[in-house]
Amino acid sequence: NAGVTQTPKFQVLKTGQSMTLQCAQDMNHEYMSWYRQDPGMGLRLIHYSVGAGITDQGEVPNGYNVSRSTTEDFPLRLLSAAPSQTSVYFCASSSTGNEQFFGPGTRLTVL
């Protein structure tokens, strides 16, 4: 039982490049979320999903896309990376009435 896994752990991009951050969970949780963590700002919700095929925007969705084709996977796409997207990204999953389980994070630097 791996819990929530994220790949890659580290990534450096140039401005304008695109990439996908991967997130997978093996707990059959219906809810999955992406957060970004910046110094002194806690975690801010980017996008979340309440089940396969259903996604919605969080607090800071601009510049990011998500899809949820299966219960297990919830990839986050950066369409055209900008330096303001330099951050640590966390994926989390949860089920009704329970807390979120977090992945180890992806540290992204955009030059």
Measured from the CB atom, the residue of 26 and 59 that comes closer to other proteins is 59
Write down the least CB distance from residue 49 to other proteins, Å: 7
CB 66 within 8 A of CB 58: no
Decide: is 11 part of the binding site for other proteins (CB under 8 A). no
User: How deeply is 105 buried, as exposed, middle or buried, from its count of CB atoms within 10 A (0-12, 13-18, 19+)?
Assistant: middle
Measured CA to CA, the distance from residue 50 to residue 52 in angstroms comes to 7
Q: Give the number of residues written for the chain.
A: 111
Member of 27, 45, 52, 82 binding other proteins (CB under 8 A):
45
Q: Which stretch binds other proteins (CB under 8 A): 20-28, 35-43, 62-70, 78-86?
A: 35-43
CB 89 within 8 A of CB 34: yes
Residue ranges in contact with other proteins by CB under 8 A: 31-33, 35, 40-45, 48-50, 58-59, 90, 92-94, 96-100, 102-105
